[in-house]
Amino acid sequence: GAVVSQHPSRVICKSGTSVKIECRSLDFQATTMFWYRQFPKQSLMLMATSNEGSKATYEQGVEKDKFLINHASLTLSTLTVTSAHPEDSSFYICSARAAWIGWNNEQFFGPGTRLTVL
Amino acid sequence: DAKTTQPTSMDCAEGRAANLPCNHSTISGNEYVYWYRQIHSQGPQYIIHGLKNNETNEMASLIITEDRKSSTLILPHATLRDTAVYYCIVTYNTDKLIFGTGTRLQVFP
């Protein structure tokens, strides 16, 4: 149980275009989902937290108009990188926290999406 | 900033126990110690967590010192598939997982 998927796993796009990344909790409901970014040889950095049905909370320094997050259901959150530029190239990882109180309250992570902007 | 200190890298022979230390000298009374690992180009995987008692599950054991200022993650019989970056995270709020640089564990044959 507790599987989180991401789609696509890899994407290459041209500078100036927008890219949407989906994050799904496959076998549980997630009231809260998180988006992280990881540059090569660096650690994960939390970008934003989203709760189903409400606006996402962004970490300091993350542009909310550039990284649009939608959490429309208990099993799906999307991250849209708008007007992507080469410096947005990174490994984007989502995670979900189960709504069921029986879990250890840990976050379950997706496999990540590698974005390359040309 | 991460509130933990971990060695940058460690080696371990396959089949032997891997003991990964973590210092968290400023830990507060309501903060838990979480361990995650990240295999290359994958998302992090939850391993174990604890508050003050030692914990064990099917993946690992977590030993927390009595003063809670440090802990050790133990992989009892390391395999090549355990090669990964291991992150020790201290938090009372699992909404805020602050990942430090972690320990790169290399298991060799």
Nearest-by-Cβ selection for B44 from A6, A32, A109: A109
pLDDT for res A100? 64
In the three-class reduction of DSSP (H, G, I as helix; E, B as strand; rest coil), residue B102 is classed as: coil
Return the minimum-mean-pLDDT range out of A61-65, B6-10, B27-31. B27-31
pLDDT in tens, A50-102: 988 888 999 999 999 999 999 888 899 999 999 999 999 999 999 998 766 55
pLDDT in tens, A32-45: 899 999 999 899 99
| Strand A113-117, strand A10-13: pairing | parallel
- Best of A37, A39, A41, A43 to disrupt the B interface (most B CBs within 10 Å) is A43
> Closest chain A residue to B42 measured between Cα atoms?
A111
pLDDT for res A58? 95
Tell me the sheet residues that pair with B4.
none
pLDDT for res B2? 55
d(CA B67, CA B27) in angstroms, rounded, equals: 10
pLDDT in tens, B35-94: 999 999 899 999 999 999 899 999 999 999 999 999 999 999 999 999 999 999 998 877
Q: How many C-beta neighbours within 10 Å does residue A95 have?
A: 28
Q: Which residue type, as a one-letter code, is found at position B88?
A: C
Quick one: pLDDT band at residue B30, thresholds 50, 70, 90?
confident
In the three-class reduction of DSSP (H, G, I as helix; E, B as strand; rest coil), residue B93 is classed as: coil
pLDDT greater than 60 at residue B26: yes
Q: B16, B109 in Cβ contact below 8 A?
A: no
* Location of structure tokens 């993650």: B73
pLDDT greater than 70 at residue B1: no
Between A5 and A98, whose confidence is greater? A5
Chain B within 8 Å of A104 (Cβ-Cβ)?
Answer: yes
pLDDT for res A102? 53
pLDDT for res B8? 96
Quick one: pLDDT band at residue A29, thresholds 50, 70, 90?
confident
Residues of chain B contacting A114 with CB distance shorter than 8 Å: 41
